């Protein structure tokens, strides 16, 4: 895993009355170490991923999506934590809301 990569720009679209389902695959030949945490952090709300060695995935119920949209988030950070490593992988200054 490249710990020196620059922070990427994140584009995140949320849709009212729709579950948020996404999968982030580990790069080819890479894996997520046991105990890895990957979180979408909206400030007051965090959505932790389910992490296996091959992927990080989210399956957030539409009720939680609607609650977040009602809070009108303006930014999101994708955070990675494993052992003593705590990284900001990606960020966005605005969250797009559809519907």
Delineate the domains of the chain, giving CATH numbers in brackets. 8-98 (2.60.40.10)
CA dihedral 50, 90, 79, 72 (to 10 degrees): -80
Q: Give 85's strand partners.
A: 82
Q: Show pLDDT as tens, one digit a residue, over the chain (99 residues).
A: 565 678 888 888 899 999 999 999 998 999 999 999 999 999 999 999 999 999 999 999 999 999 999 988 888 999 999 988 899 999 987 677 776
**Predicted local distance difference test score (pLDDT) of residue 2:** 61
């Amino acid at each position: 895993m490249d710990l020196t990569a620059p922070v990427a720009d994140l584009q995140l679209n949320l849709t009212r009355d729709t579950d948020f389902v996404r999968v982030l695959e580990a790069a080819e030949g890479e894996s997520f170490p046991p105990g890895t945490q990957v979180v979408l952090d909206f400030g007051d709300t965090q959505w932790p991923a389910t992490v296996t060695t091959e992927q990080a995935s989210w399956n957030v119920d539409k009720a939680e999506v609607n609650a977040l949209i009602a809070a009108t988030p303006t930014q999101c950070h994708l955070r990675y934590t494993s052992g003593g490593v705590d990284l900001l992988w990606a960020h966005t200054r605005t969250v797009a809301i559809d519907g």
